[in-house]
C-alpha cells in the first residue's frame, strides 16, 4: 500500500498523526539557543528529557545549558551505573530541569513519568520516535524535534518513513538567523585568519526552580 506525504509517495505503512508532536526548523548554530528559549518561555516546558545522537553533542549541550543557568545532567553509556542512577533520581525529584542523553542509553530507561521530550536530532529509529510520542501523550506533554534548516531533505525522508507530515512550529519571541554561520573564518590580507565569535546565548535567565533547592 502506498501513501503520500508532503507530495512524496511512500511504500511505508501510514500511522495516525499524533496531536502532541511538532518540529522546529532552525540553523544548526542556533539549536542550543532555541532549546534554552523554549525552556525559559512564559509557557515553558519545565522539565524535559533531550535526546542526541552523538556523545560529544550530549557533553557540549549539557555544558551550554548549565552555563546558561539551566540545571542539566548528562546520561550515556560511558557514565558509571551509580552516576546514571543518581542523575535519573535527581531528575525525578525535580532537582534537575533537563536530562540530556544519547539515543543508545535511552532505550534502557523508564520514561513513564516524563512529560516532555525533545529530539535534538532526528531520531535514528522510527520506533524510538513513536514510543516517545506515545509516552508524552499519555503524560499530557509534548515531543518536540529540532531540525536543521540546512538538512530538510532528511526530514522529508523521515516523514515518509513515519507515514505523515510533522507539524511545523516557530518559537514566539525567538530571533531566527536568516543564514547559517560560516564554518570557515574569513581571511585578512596577507593570509591571516580572523576568528569567528560565537553568538551569545539568548534568554540566559532561567525561570525554572528545582524542588530540592533554595531551602
pLDDT of residue 107: 81
pLDDT of residue 95: 94
Q: How confident is the model at residue 112 (pLDDT cuts 50, 70, 90)?
A: confident
Contacts of residue 201, defined as CB under 8 A and 6 or more positions apart, other chains included, come to 32, 33, 36, 64, 67, 68
DSSP string spanning 9-72?
EE-SPP-PPPSSEEEEEE-GGGHHHHHHHHHHSTT---SEEEEESSHHHHHHHHHHHHHTT--E
Between residues 182 and 40, which one has the greater pLDDT? 40
Which pTM does this prediction carry?
Answer: 0.77
Strand 72-75, strand 98-102: pairing? parallel
List, for residues 34-52, the tens digit of each pLDDT value. Answer: 999 999 986 678 899 999 9
pLDDT of residue 56: 95
- What value does the mean pLDDT take over residues 148-154? 90
- What value does the mean pLDDT take over residues 82-94? 92
Asked whether residue 109 carries a pLDDT value surpassing 90, the answer given is no
Highest mean pLDDT among 6-10, 30-34, 105-109, 165-169: 30-34
Q: How confident is the model at residue 96 (pLDDT cuts 50, 70, 90)?
A: very high
pLDDT of residue 206: 52
CATH number, domain 27-169, options 3.50.90.10, 3.40.50.300, 3.30.70.250, 2.40.50.140: 3.40.50.300
Q: Angle at Cα 153 formed by Cα 151 and Cα 154, nearest 5°? A: 75
Amino acid at each position: 500500500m502506498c501513501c503520500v506525504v508532503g507530495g512524496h509517495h511512500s511504500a511505508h505503512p501510514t500511522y495516525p498523526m499524533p496531536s502532541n508532536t511538532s518540529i522546529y526548523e532552525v540553523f544548526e548554530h542556533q539549536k542550543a539557543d532555541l532549546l534554552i528559549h523554549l525552556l525559559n518561555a512564559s509557557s515553558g516546558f519545565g522539565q524535559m528529557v533531550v535526546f542526541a545522537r552523538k556523545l560529544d553533542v550530549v557533553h557540549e549541550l549539557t555544558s551550554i545549558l548549565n552555563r546558561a543557568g539551566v540545571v542539566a545532567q548528562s546520561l550515556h553509556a560511558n557514565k558509571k551505573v551509580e552516576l546514571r542512577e543518581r542523575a535519573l533520581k535527581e531528575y525525578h525529584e525535580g532537582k534537575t530541569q533537563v536530562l540530556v542523553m544519547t539515543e543508545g542509553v535511552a532505550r534502557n530507561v523508564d520514561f513513564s513519568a516524563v512529560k516532555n521530550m525533545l529530539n535534538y536530532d532526528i531520531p535514528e529509529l522510527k520506533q524510538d520516535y513513536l514510543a516517545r510520542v506515545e509516552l508524552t501523550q499519555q503524560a499530557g506533554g509534548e515531543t518536540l524535534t529540532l531540525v536543521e534548516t540546512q538538512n530538510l531533505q532528511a526530514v522529508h525522508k523521515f516523514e515518509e518513513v513515519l507515514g505523515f507530515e510533522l507539524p511545523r512550529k516557530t518559537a514566539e519571541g525567538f530571533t531566527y538567523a536568516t543564514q547559517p554561520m560560516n564554518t570557515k573564518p574569513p581571511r585578512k590580507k596577507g593570509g591571516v585568519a580572523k576568528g569567528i565569535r560565537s553568538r551569545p546565548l539568548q534568554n540566559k535567565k532561567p525561570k525554572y526552580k528545582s524542588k530540592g533547592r533554595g531551602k
